[in-house]
Chains A and B, each alone.
Chain A
């Protein structure tokens, strides 16, 4: 049965070998933290490490108010809902979070899902049926591809962040009956780049397509109020469906889809990933509701995050690393060698910096990435420590040239 994973098994063994010859080398895909000390620190293999590989953008996982509300909800409503809202009923707290989130986003309706992954897997097949067309950005997250696979619609990919390629495809499909739904992300999770939303909206308007934006990494991160890339680019009126997750900036778990379309509520009876899985437990709902409240009350968190993102990005760029195109809380060092990336990742852990190792085929253009992410909870000193460690290991492994040599070769 499992022989088909032979090649995968060999690739993994090779990666572990390349990662380090030391006995304390870690498996990048099986990292086990012993204790989580806070949003920015944990204990791993008996050593304190700085966390630069989370999606804890606002650092809310240890927010005192969120913890208090979650504890109260467990005591009041119990540990779980034991079923789906369709079969087993909605709790007051589900409905309150939906209303609160709708208000926050300025949308008519919000539907909760149990994870962000399920939001895409649930919403895409429910929206796009047999005669419809899904147009996905080529670098879309796995949950978008999986949702598209479950849909009866015809699916095509357009070149990443390329409104012209999208336009060409929509023109090609112009005479076909059926609705066309464009799917893009606010911030892309591997390189931290953003969708050119204004240009995409122009294409959408001209071709009469619908637009869904997955703000998984941009909710609580972009826009004056943290509503995401659509808010930041002034395009909210042209976004028909907003997808998002509670697992990143809001520090919990869960997903949602928001819309102004009439009859959006009907999707509750059409989306299988909504109907056939248990709803979010009370503690999670309460923690997320409080996190949203915190986001509304403390806009300075977004400002802290932006400042920290610029600090890390500029530090790594000045050291000479090849990074993504834009400053965002996701900052990835691009390397073109998997073994080198694994070795770099292990060396960073040895000096107490945890980042993510992202490898092909999950990465754009098959790059090997050291993906770091910044939190509002990081202190400037912690960010300097990370820049320092990355720079010295970069020099040690030959990823960076010694500054004096750099000037020398530039002069030649």
Chain B
């Protein structure tokens, strides 16, 4: 999935969660800061990421969330974990999810 597609799935998830006003959803880009621009508190971020984990069929560990600041960072983590999961399944390398 291209980064653009990933971001559009993220935007869709933000919209359906309903915490962020539609006019802000319309302006989300890779540079949007999740806490500052979307004004999500830590619990809302965790819940939101849980929703994305389902959509992307992945698992994002909580400590990785600490490094996520922008929507672009989030897109990277969601797809990186998908990739590593694949990799681990074949190669048995121990990759920290």
Using a CB–CB cutoff of 8 Å, the interface residues on chain A facing chain B are 131, 138, 148-149, 154-159, 165, 168-169, 172-173, 175-178, 360-361, 366
The answer to whether B50 touches A175 (Cβ under 8 A) is no
B94 A173 Cβ-Cβ under 8 A: no
Pair A157/B94 contact, Cβ less than 8 Å: no
Would you call B94 and A131 a contact (CB within 8 A)? yes
The docked-state distance in angstroms from the alpha carbon of A373 to that of B92 is 49
* Per-position 1/0 for B69-97, Cβ under 8 A of A: 00000000000000001001100101111
The residue that A156 contacts in the complex, of B42, B62, B96, with Cβ under 8 A, is B62
Does B22 reach chain A (CB closer than 8 Å)? no
Bound together, the chains give a CA A311 to CA B49 distance in angstroms of 40
Residues of A within 8 A of B47 (CB): 138
Q: Is the CB of B92 within 8 A of A175?
A: yes
A366 cross-chain contacts in B, Cβ below 8 A = 43
Task: Tell me which of B3-11, B24-32, B53-61 binds A.
Answer: B53-61
| Contact of B94 with A176 in the complex, beta carbons under 8 Å | yes
List B residues 27-50 near A (Cβ within 8 Å): 41-43, 46-47, 50
A157 touches B46 (CB 8 A): yes
> B63 in the interface, Cβ–Cβ < 8 Å?
yes
The interface residues of chain B lying within 8 Å CB-to-CB of A172 are: 57-59, 85
* A173→B62 CA distance, assembly (Å): 15
Tell me which residues across on chain B come within 8 A of A159, comparing CB atoms.
50
In contact, B62 and A176 (Cβ under 8 angstroms): no
The list of the 7 closest CB pairs from A to B, nearest first, reads: A154-B61, A361-B43, A155-B62, A172-B59, A175-B89, A169-B59, A156-B59
Question: Which of A154, A169, A178, A360: most chain B CB closer than 10 A?
Answer: A154
- Chain A to chain B contacts (Cβ below 8 Å), 26 pairs: A131-B94, A138-B47, A148-B62, A154-B61, A154-B63, A154-B96, A155-B62, A156-B59, A156-B60, A156-B62, A157-B62, A159-B50, A165-B54, A169-B53, A172-B58, A172-B59, A173-B59, A175-B88, A175-B89, A175-B92, A176-B97, A177-B92, A177-B94, A361-B41, A361-B42, A366-B43
Please, which residues of chain A bring their CB within 8 A of the CB of B50? Answer: 138, 157-159
Query: How far is it, in angstroms, between the C-alpha of A111 and the C-alpha of B54 when the chains are bound?
Result: 37
**Given A175-B92, A177-B94, A155 and B61 touching (CB < 8 A)?**
yes
Min distance, Cβ A339 to any Cβ of chain B, angstroms:
18
Residues of B within 8 A of A138 (CB): 46-47, 50
Residues of B within 8 A of A158 (CB): 50
Q: Knowing A138-B50, A154-B97, A361-B43 touch, does A176 contact B63 (C-beta < 8 A)? A: no
How far apart sit A19 and B43, CA to CA, in the bound complex (Å)? 25
Nearest chain B CB to A355 CB, angstrom units: 23
Of the candidates A156, A168, A175, the one whose C-beta lies within 8 Å of that of B61 is A156
Bound CA–CA A176/B88 (angstroms): 7
Name which residue of chain B comes closest to A159, CB basis.
B50
Residues of A near B60 (CB, < 8 A) are 156
Residues of A within 8 A of B54 (CB): 165, 168
Task: Supply 16 further A-B pairs (C-beta < 8 A) apart from A172-B58, A176-B94, A366-B43.
Answer: A138-B46, A154-B61, A155-B63, A156-B62, A157-B46, A159-B50, A168-B54, A169-B53, A172-B57, A172-B59, A173-B59, A175-B88, A176-B97, A177-B92, A360-B43, A361-B42
